[in-house]
Structure 1
Amino acid sequence: MPNLNSVPAARRYLETNLHQRQVNKVLHSFPSPRFWKDRERGPLDVRPPGTDAPSCELYVALPFCLVTQPSHCGYCLFPTEGYQNQDQLEVYLNALEREGEQYRERWQALEPRSIFIGGGTPNLLKVHQYPRLLNMIYGLLPSLPPGTPVTLEGIPQLFSRDKLLAMKDHGVTRISMGAQQLDAGLSRLSGRMQQPKHVFQAVEWAAELGLGCNVDLIYGWPQQTPAHMRRDLQDLMASGVQHITHYELNVGGATDFALNHRDELPSPELVREMYFGAAELLAQGGYAQLTPSDFQKVEPGAAPGFVYEECRRSFDAHDVWAWGYAAISDFPNHHHSQEAGGWTFMNQRNLPGYYGLLNDGKIPVECGYARSPADLRLSLLFRNLQSLSVDTASYRHNFERDVLEEFSPIWQACAELGLLHISPEAIRLTPEGAYRVPLIQTALMQGRVEEITEAHFAQLRAAAGRVDAGRGAAP
C-alpha cells in the first residue's frame, strides 16, 4: 500500500490513477464493512437515552427487487432479495413491525430531519400496504415535526397514480426513481423491462399530486455513447423533474457487467467527457450542482429546501437510525470527544437471519464497528467532499485539529493537479476535483486502511497462535 506522507508520493499516486476507471470504494462511508466484526452490541447499546447527536435521519429498508436476467440488474452491489409474491411483503412488514417495537420507547423524543424509505424496491408494495408502512413509521415517532421530508424510492414501471396518491395521503413528500437508462435497448442489458414512458408518466403524476421527484440516471453504461446520455438528459429536463441524480457506473464484484461487459464499457477518457458534458448541459437547463452526482432545479423565488441526497456541509455530529433488512445505522460521538469515534452497524443481509433474530426477540444486527476518532474524521470528511467543499473551521471546532495540516501532502498534491483550491476557510473542489472525488477519498484513506488491515491480520495471527497453543497442550 503506498505511503502518501510526502507531496511527491501523493502526486505520483494521484497521477497514476487519473487514467484508470474510477471505483467508488466508500459506498458505506469509512471504513469498509469487511472490517465490521463486532457481534455483541447494537444501536440501543451505544445510543442510550440522552446521548443523541444534535440531528438525525431515519432510513427504512425494504429488501425485495424484481428478478432480472442478468441478476441484480447486471451491476448492483447492494444486498437484495428476489421478489416472488405478495406474501413476502406481508411477512416482511410483520417483521419490520416487530423490529420497530424494540425502538418504540427509545424513539419517543426522536425528531429525524428526514426519512428515506429505500431498498430494494419499496414501490413493490401494493396500494393498501402504504398506509400500514407509513402509519407504522409515524406511530414510533410521536415527536416528528409536521412536514418532515419523507422520500420513497422505486422503479418507474411500478409507480401508479393510485400508489402515489396513497403515498401522499399518508405522509410521503417525495419519490426517488431509479431509471438508470431511458434508452430501452441499453436498459435491456440490465434485464429491466421499463420503457421511457413509465419514467415520464411517473414524473407527471408526481407533479400533479404535489410530490417532489428525483430521477436517477447512470453514465458509463455498457454500449452507451455521449449522444445516448445527452438525449436522456434533455428529455428528462424537458419533463420538468426537480432533481436529477447522474452518477457514474460502479463496475465491480461478481456482477454481469464486471464479468461479461467490460469490453463494452466506454473508456475512462470517454466517461470523464460524459461527466463534464452532463454537468454543462444540466447547468444550462437551470439545475444547480449540489454534489458530484446531484443536480437540483433552481426555482426562481423559492427558498432552497432540504434534499435527502445533498451531503452534509459541516462536521457536526449527526445520527442515522436504520430500520430493516441490511439497513446501516451510524452514531458518531459528539464533537470534542476523544474516547472513540462512535459506532456503525449493519442489520442482517439475509432474510432467514433477519427473521431469526427477530423471532428470538433481538435487534437484527449482523455486525458493527467501533470507529476510532481517526475513522470518524475520515468518514465525515468523505461526506463533506461530496458537498464539493470542506469547511475547515467546522472541522477545527469539532475535532480540535487542522484538516489542512492533517492531510497536508495530499491536499497540496491535489492542488498542484488542479483538483482543488485551498484557503484558510475552505478546501473547494474544482470541476475536475468534483469528478475525482472517489480518487481523492481513496488517497486520504490509504494510511488508515493500512493500520486497520495490519491490526486485522495481527488479530488473526494471535487467534491462530492460541489455537495452536491449545492443540499443543492437549493430552
Structure 2
Amino acid sequence: MVQAAYLHIPFCEQICHYCDFNKVFLKGQPVDEYLQYMDTEMKHTIEAYPPSSLKSIFVGGGTPTVLNVNQLELFLSSINHYLKPRSKTFEFTFEANPGDLTEDKLKLMLDSGVNRISFGVQTFNDELLKAIGRTHRRDDVFHTIEMAKHVGFKNISIDLMYALPHQTIESFQESLNLAFSLDVEHVSAYSLIVEPKTVFYNLMRKGKLHLPSQENEAKMYEILMSEMEKHGFHQYEISNFSKEGFESRHNLTYWNNEEYYGIGAGAHSYVAEKRISNAGPIKKYMSAIDEHGFPYVEKHTVTVKEKMEEELFLGLRKTTGVSISHFHEKFSVSIFDVFASQIKEQKEKGLLEEKDDFIRLTHKGKFLGNEVFQAFLI
C-alpha cells in the first residue's frame, strides 16, 4: 500500500555547490507548464495506483518556495485535488529556503493543508553560507522562522550540515547553539558528501577543496548527538533528531521500506512492488507524459531478495533498528536464516547489537553506517 507522496519542484534561483539533486536555474524555465504536467502525472498516477492509506506528502526540490503566489496556489490546488490529506495526523511538508518566503506564501500554504516546513539552513556562519553557494544569511533564518511561527506553523524542521570546507568544530558548535535558540521541533544534520557533477567535486579534483579531517568530522558528529540529547531531541535515525512526537512520518516511510509515489522530473516511486524512475530533464519529462501518459524511464520489479536487503540497509538507519519479528512476518523466514553471517560479523566488529526484538547499530556503528549497510547487499 502506498504510504506517502513526494513531489519535486526542480527550480532554483541559485545552485548550491554541493547539490546533486535534479535541479535547473529558474530563469527562463516553463514553470507554469511544468506544474500542469505535474497535475497530469498526479491524475494518471492515482488512477493507475489508487491511494488507500496515504499518510504524508513531501514537496522537495530544487527550491519549492521559488514558486510565486499564483503558481503556488495552482500547485497546492492540484495536490489537494488528487492527494487530499485523509486524517488529522496527516503530515504535509514543504521544503523552503530561508529568505524566499513571504507572509502571503506562508498563509497560503497553511490554508492549503501544509502543516510542516523544512528549512534548508545548513549553517549559521555567513562566510560558510557564501562558500557553499547559499543565497540566504543567518538573519534570514531567524526572520523567516519567526514569521512562520507567527502565521501558525507548529511543526518546523531545519537542515544542518557539517564537515564543510574550512569549518571548525567551534563554528559547528556555534551553529548548534543558534539552532537550539530557534525552538524548532526537528533537526536533520548531514555531513558533506562530495558528489560528482557538483561545484565542490570539480574543486576537489583540482585540489582546491579544503575539508575538515575525518577525525574532526567524527568529532562533529559526536558533538551533534550529545548536544541534541541535552536539548531534548531524540535521535531516531542516523542523521535525524526530533522532539517527542515530531519524527518525520514521510522519511520513516522510506526507512520502513514502504511504498510511495514520486511525482515530478527526476522523482522516484516505489509502487506495486516496482521501483520507478522519472525522466529528469524537464522537456523530456513533459514529452514523455505527452507520449505515454507517464514520465517513466525505468521500471524495476523488486525481487524478494532485494526487498530483504532493503529491509536491512534502510531499517538499520533507524536507531530502533530492524524488528526480528516483523521481518519474519513480512517475509515468512527468519532474519537469521538469511543474514546470519552478516549479523554475526558486524556484531563481532562492535557495529551491531541485538536488543529485545531488534537488531540495531551500536554507538560505534552509527559512525560506520555505510560499511554496515554494504554488508547486507548479498
Give the alignment's TM-score, normalised by structure 2: 0.92
Query: Pick from 168, 171, 187: which aligns with 1:225?
Result: 168
User: Quick one: distance in 2 between partners of 1:147 and 1:371?
Assistant: 30
Q: Which runs of 5+ in 1 are unaligned?
A: 1-52, 299-303, 333-341, 448-475
Q: Which residue of 2 aligns with 1:136?
A: 78
Runs of 4+ in 1 over 6 A off after TM superposition: none
Residue 107 of structure 1 deviates from its aligned partner by 6.1
Counterpart check, 1:417 vs 2:345: no
Residue 405 of structure 1 deviates from its aligned partner by 3.8
Which one-letter code corresponds to 2:110 in the other structure? K
Query: Pick from 291, 305, 311: which aligns with 2:252?
Result: 311
The C-alpha deviation readout for 1:404-443, integer Å capped at 9, x for no partner, is 3422233222222222212462112222212322221122
Counterpart check, 1:64 vs 2:11: yes
Q: How does 1:178-327 map to 2 (within 5 A)?
A: 178-211=120-153, 212-261=155-204, 263-298=209-244, 304-305=245-246, 307-308=248-249, 310-311=251-252, 318-327=258-267
User: Quick one: distance in 2 between partners of 1:146 and 1:132?
Assistant: 24
Residue 151 of structure 1 deviates from its aligned partner by 0.2
Percent identical residues: 26
C-alpha contact (below 8 Å) 1:289/1:295 kept by paired residues: yes
User: Quick one: distance in 1 between partners of 2:85 and 2:137?
Assistant: 41
Which one-letter code corresponds to 1:292 in the other structure? I
The C-alpha deviation readout for 1:107-164, integer Å capped at 9, x for no partner, is 6653411011111110011123222111111111368335521000021121222211
Equivalent residue of 2:99, what SS?
A: helix
User: Quick one: distance in 2 between partners of 1:314 and 1:208?
Assistant: 33
Residue 312 of structure 1 deviates from its aligned partner by 5.1
Residue 171 of structure 1 deviates from its aligned partner by 0.9
Q: Which residue of 2 aligns with 1:29?
A: none
Residue 314 of structure 1 deviates from its aligned partner by 8.7
Q: Which residue of 2 aligns with 1:119?
A: 61
User: Quick one: distance in 2 between partners of 1:147 and 1:209?
Assistant: 20
The C-alpha deviation readout for 1:297-345, integer Å capped at 9, x for no partner, is 24xxxxx255235535996x7320111111110036xxxxxxxxx2100
Structure 1 residues 142 and 416, CA gap change in structure 2 (3 angstroms):
closer
Equivalent residue of 1:158, what SS?
A: coil
Q: Which has the higher contact order (CA 8 A, sep 6+)?
A: 1
Instruction: Report the aligned-residue RMSD.
Output: 2.2
Q: Which residue of 2 aligns with 1:364?
A: 295
User: Quick one: distance in 2 between partners of 1:170 and 1:313?
Assistant: 25
User: Quick one: distance in 1 between partners of 2:50 and 2:303?
Assistant: 29
Q: Which residue of 2 aligns with 1:22?
A: none
Q: How does 1:147-158 map to 2 (within 5 A)?
A: 148-158=90-100
Structure 1 residues 137 and 172, CA gap change in structure 2 (3 angstroms):
same
The C-alpha deviation readout for 1:166-206, integer Å capped at 9, x for no partner, is 11011100111112222111111222221011111222122
C-alpha contact (below 8 Å) 2:9/2:62 kept by paired residues: yes
User: Quick one: distance in 2 between partners of 1:382 and 1:294?
Assistant: 16
User: Quick one: distance in 1 between partners of 2:309 and 2:370?
Assistant: 13
Larger CA Rg, structure 1 vs 2: 1
Residue 67 of structure 1 deviates from its aligned partner by 3.1
Q: How does 1:318-357 map to 2 (within 5 A)?
A: 318-331=258-271, 342-357=273-288
Structure 1 residues 345 and 313, CA gap change in structure 2 (3 angstroms):
closer
Count of residue correspondences: 373
User: Quick one: distance in 2 between partners of 1:205 and 1:306?
Assistant: 23
User: Quick one: distance in 2 between partners of 1:293 and 1:170?
Assistant: 29
C-alpha contact (below 8 Å) 2:66/2:100 kept by paired residues: yes
C-alpha contact (below 8 Å) 2:185/2:246 kept by paired residues: no
Q: Which residue of 2 aligns with 1:427?
A: 359
Give the alignment's TM-score, normalised by structure 1: 0.74
